[in-house]
Chains A and B, each alone.
Chain A
Amino acid sequence: MLMNIGFGHFLVLAAVLFAIGAAGVLLRKNVLIIMMSIELMLNAANLTIITFARMHGDLGGHSFAMVVIAVAAAEVAVGLAIVVAIFRTRRHADVDKLNILKH
């Protein structure tokens, strides 16, 4: 178990990373930390994809992972732009204080 590293180890590691990312999204209220946590989730998914690509001997998984990295970069750029726009109109970036739109 400890010295025999199998694909399962990588997959469980990815699952733990995914869970930590999801916990960060739910627990933290700073927008930037939430965005980093989302990046953690995407990276966990990428690790899973690459592990399975190795397991199935399918290079398509690597190309998929490249697409994911590009998408993640684009998402971060737009997200940070929205954060900057929010900051311009209210001088903070706390999710909890965003309450003009009522439920």
Chain B
Amino acid sequence: MRRKFIVLAAGVLVAAACGGSQPEPVTPAPVAIDSTAIKEQMRQDSIAAAERARAEAERRATEAALAAAALITNQLTAEVHDMINFDFDRSDIRMEDEANLDRKAAIMMANAAVRMRIAGHADDRGSDEYNLALGNRRAESAKRYLVNQGVDGSRINIVSFGEERPLDPAQTEEAWTKNRRDEFEMTAGASQLVAPN
């Protein structure tokens, strides 16, 4: 900073010396000029700092809002992904799963961009090929339920895994119960979800 002012002062001297035929008494550049510049600089700096603080606050607020939204999205995603289970060789929705599906329907209605894939699964006690049909029927059942709640059917796609992808390969009643299920996956519009009213 200091060095710059000295150079500047020297420059003024040279300019004056080479200037005109009418020599003026040479006086050194007053220090007061520099002081104004510094004040101006400080003013600018303080504006910038305020600007930065405001941006930072804004960024933090946005971040917090995003985090809150992400939290909501995560919660809603988990609710959509929550599986439902079926009785042996049955594809009708059990009463205890209706609230679960009602919630999924509400979330889909509040988020029009969401598309869903429902995958039906079976335990391995049934026939291999029949289980593909059974899984399909289980996926269809959940889709029909959601459509009856007002979700546009074209937003839901169904597939069946039959007994090809068990959650638990054990040959126990507990494992079979787990494996008879519908899985729900959002295939589009799931990056940010809003909670239904």
To the question of whether A and B form a pair in one complex, the answer is no
Q: Which residues of A contact B (CB under 8 A)?
A: none
Q: Which residues of B contact A (CB under 8 A)?
A: none
